Chain A
Amino acid sequence: DIQMTQTPSTLSAFLGDKVTITCRASQNIGNWMAWYQQKPGKAPKLLIYKATTLETGVPSRFSGSGSGTEFSLTINSLQPDDFGTYYCQQFYSFSERTFGPGTKVEI
Chain B
Amino acid sequence: EVQLLESGGGLVQPGGSLKLSCVASGFSFSNDAMAWVRQAPGKGLEWVSSISSIANRPYYADSVKGRFTIFRDNSKKTVYLQMDNLRGDDTAMYYCARDPRAGDLDNWGQGTLVTVSS
Interface residues of A, Cβ cutoff 8 Å to B: 1, 32, 34, 36, 38, 43-46, 49-50, 55, 85, 87, 89, 91, 94-102
Contacts and interface: CB of A to CB of B under 8 A. Distances in A.
Interface in B29-85: 35, 37, 44-47, 50, 52, 59, 61-62
A85 B39 CA distance: 13
A95 B95 contact: no
A46 B104 contact: yes
A102 B103 contact: no
Contacts of A100: 44
B105 interface: yes
A46 B108 CA distance: 9
A49 B103 contact: yes
Given A43-B95, A94-B50, A99 B104 contact: no
Contacts of A44: 37, 45, 95, 105, 108
Contacts of B103: 32, 34, 49, 89, 91, 94, 97
A34 to B, nearest CB: 4
Given A43-B95, A43-B111, A49-B101, A99 B46 contact: yes
Contacts of A34: 103-105
B44 A43 contact: no
A21 B108 CA distance: 23
Nearest to A44: B108
B45 A43 contact: no
A91 B102 contact: yes
B25 interface: no
B13 interface: no
15 contacts: A1-B62, A38-B45, A43-B95, A43-B108, A45-B108, A49-B101, A49-B104, A89-B103, A94-B50, A97-B35, A97-B47, A97-B50, A97-B103, A100-B44, A102-B45
